[in-house]
Amino acid sequence: MSSEKIIAIIQDNPHVFDRKIVEQLSLSSRAVEKQIAQLKATGRLQRIGPANVGYREVQE
């Protein structure tokens, strides 16, 4: 499942950019955006700080 792979990538590097996730998973940027939005909506992922210097935190 793509969302679990995204979670694993973010756990390895919370500062990872979306484009790196796209490259690693060979998905479209829109598919990654949708998966990240869904993870945020369900509370599994939280953004800490601003976009350019912040990071993502995985909620268990």
Q: Give the per-residue pLDDT at 1.
A: 73
Torsion of CA 44, 53, 9, 26, to 10 degrees: 110
What phi and psi, each to the nearest 5 degrees, are found at residue 8? Answer: -60, -40
Q: 3-36, pLDDT tens digit by residue?
A: 999 999 999 999 999 999 999 999 999 999 999 9
Q: Which two tokens stand for residue 22?
A: 């796209």
Confidence of residue 52 (pLDDT cuts 50, 70, 90): confident
Is this model's pTM higher than 0.85 or not? yes
DSSP calls for the chain: -HHHHHHHHHHH-TT--HHHHHHHHT--HHHHHHHHHHHHHTTSEEEES-TTT-EEEE--
CATH fold of 2-58, please? Arc Repressor Mutant, subunit A (1.10.10)
